[in-house]
Structure 1
């Protein structure tokens, strides 16, 4: 990647790393924190959904705003809001306030991801853009490795301490972002396009990017079903405990970093984004079916290997589909990426609930259902994903 891009890229990567640290830091302590405040399983479910619900509605808003006023101010808003809400988590002692702050955190921190991707799209093109998206994915993968580990370690001393650390790190990053992240948007997108801007209505079904939106929804939906049921499946079938789950998710994070941070650029150059999106979906489906098979045979090594296949497929889909959205968008990359992330949020809202319900009927149902949806989305929309189907907006 060109030297002049390294400064902004480092800032973007750190931001996304911190956001995912904050997302993952609550995983090991949340059930105990909610119980301490008098909540139960329903409260825990509401808490988890609140973040994604607000992301679903507000990611497109922040994306459109970044097209109008620039990427830099929106990233700064998201980062400061993220830091402040996590500090608020550390001092709250009321369950309803906890859920309200979680919703506020989702509302404000949803400004970071679509805007960071739009920023990257402003300063890169072609294979370099796909590689950059892969690096962002790798940073997020690292965040999901360190987040739960940090939460478990610090939560041993205090439930509040992990929130103070995550919020403090975000606020400490603010002056560096202000100083070293220049504005990437040369001219407001609204001044360049007379077309109607993408919005979260039924009209999105006719959007040229809907195939990519659908892929992102199915990917997030199946990933959420996996995340919400795998611990239960592994505990019931092979006797996994918290330590085993921590090791497994660390392995998954490492493979995500390897694929998205090291391999994705070379793979895009050789095969192209569209082929990798479809290949990733098929690999995810195969991984889900292998998980069920290995769990039934109670083979721990095979089980962990199956989750790696699933994660590799996921790691192929995320950066390449994001890159394609920026390459095909004709109505503002920030707005399109915001809408793209809203479909992911919708998947994260519906996935855990659906996965839990299916798991109650049969342990293998979430995985068979997820595999079927992934194959179906490839059959329905795989051929509609084309590189540069629409010329990108020119900003000069």
Structure 2
């Protein structure tokens, strides 16, 4: 689990250094806000389409092999993105051609990166029992959150001193380092004996987990509405220059990451409750964070909103992932992890375009819309009989361990 933690940390670090940079960089290269959103949408589209395939593939080809393919493709794609950005800054291609080059790099990146997270989640399921599955998934979430702490700060600082394209090359280096780590140090996890049941079709797995897949898609979409526009919010409401925005944005995301890691790595791992309880507790706090951002006019309120976001997601996300893992059999973990990443990809697919379009209409709309979507998801979770069945199964399986 320690090596898996480092692998996920390096991967998300390479991605998160771009969070405070992609908006100002896109504007500096002459892209519209909607085109900037399309860069994230294309990445998410590949996750939506390919994550289930990669997750199922990891069941037969092996977790390590698929993870290695993902991280190598990740490094290659960021190298292509950096090259396209440098070409754009030299102004040797027209804006539409530049957009096409950057879009192609993001498509390649999403295609390969979609192998990483579902394979890592299935890897964690291989290493944990059903009783401590929430704790194992919280480790994945903590690696994710810890990378979000350092990534934006590093990205914002590097961009401030070395230029807006420098963080892209840093991401490329992180990807290459991660490929070496996976190849040299990460072992293939021990696998459980295959079931005597015939292999489940992907559609059968999806039907058993569909309430959680819906929650994952809606919650991720609402969160991406915030993530895609909050850099614009910081720049516009604080009247910052494009060079200063990444630094201020990095500070807000630092708070977001610290809170998320503290909750996922500490509180969520130690709470002896059903994973569905974590979801129901975390979603209202996430709503409060979005509403705070919607009303914020000063930097302190923006930071508070981001902190509430980190707290709510620190509870809800490991709850969703763990509950989804418990909804299927042990030999279906790769498939359900792929479906989970695909559902999140659906949220990321529409979130950037919808978020930027809403922001151009009115600054408050992305955050109010996101709060409303998560409110609907909360009502659905509270009323779902499938969620109550998962909670009951968790109590039954945890009873021997308590006794």
Question: How many aligned positions are there?
Answer: 374
Matched residue, 1:165: 170
CA contact (8 A) 1:20 1:140 kept: yes
Q: Name the CA distance, whole Å, in 2 between partners of 1:32 and 1:300.
A: 18
Matched residue, 1:370: 370
Q: Name the CA distance, whole Å, in 2 between partners of 1:314 and 1:222.
A: 12
Matched residue, 1:336: 336
CA contact (8 A) 1:64 1:338 kept: yes
User: Following TM superposition, by how much is the alpha carbon of 1:185 offset from its aligned partner in structure 2, in angstroms?
Assistant: 5.0
CA contact (8 A) 1:63 1:115 kept: yes
Aligned mate of 1:82, from 74, 82, 87: 74
User: Following TM superposition, by how much is the alpha carbon of 1:279 offset from its aligned partner in structure 2, in angstroms?
Assistant: 1.1
Q: Name the CA distance, whole Å, in 2 between partners of 1:355 and 1:160.
A: 24
Q: Deviations over 1:9-39 (max 9, x none)?
A: 2221122112222222223443455466664
RMSD over aligned CA atoms reads: 2.8
Q: Deviations over 1:179-202 (max 9, x none)?
A: 43222253686x654254224xxx
Matched residue, 2:93: none
Matched residue, 2:18: 26
Task: For 1:1-396, list aligned pairs within 5 A.
Answer: 9-31=1-23, 33-34=25-26, 39-92=31-84, 93=87, 95=98, 96-126=100-130, 128-155=132-159, 156-184=161-189, 186=191, 192-199=196-203, 207-234=207-234, 242=245, 243-267=247-271, 269=272, 271-293=273-295, 295=296, 298=297, 300-330=299-329, 332-382=332-382, 383=384, 384-385=386-387, 386-387=390-391, 389=393
Over 3 Å counting, the alpha-carbon distance change for 1:82 and 1:257 in structure 2 is same
User: Following TM superposition, by how much is the alpha carbon of 1:42 offset from its aligned partner in structure 2, in angstroms?
Assistant: 4.2
CA contact (8 A) 2:37 2:228 kept: no
Q: Name the CA distance, whole Å, in 1 between partners of 2:239 and 2:34.
A: 26
Q: Deviations over 1:161-195 (max 9, x none)?
A: 43333323332333432343222253686x65425
CA contact (8 A) 1:82 1:105 kept: yes
User: Following TM superposition, by how much is the alpha carbon of 1:317 offset from its aligned partner in structure 2, in angstroms?
Assistant: 0.9
Over 3 Å counting, the alpha-carbon distance change for 1:24 and 1:175 in structure 2 is closer
CA contact (8 A) 2:280 2:378 kept: yes
* Alignment TM-score, normalising by the size of structure 2: 0.83
Q: Secondary structure at the match of 2:202?
A: coil
Q: Deviations over 1:135-156 (max 9, x none)?
A: 2212112222322333333344
Where structure 1 has 5 or more consecutive residues not aligned to the other structure, the ranges are 1-8
Q: Name the CA distance, whole Å, in 2 between partners of 1:53 and 1:91.
A: 22
Where structure 2 has 5 or more consecutive residues not aligned to the other structure, the ranges are 89-97, 398-403
Q: Name the CA distance, whole Å, in 2 between partners of 1:232 and 1:266.
A: 37
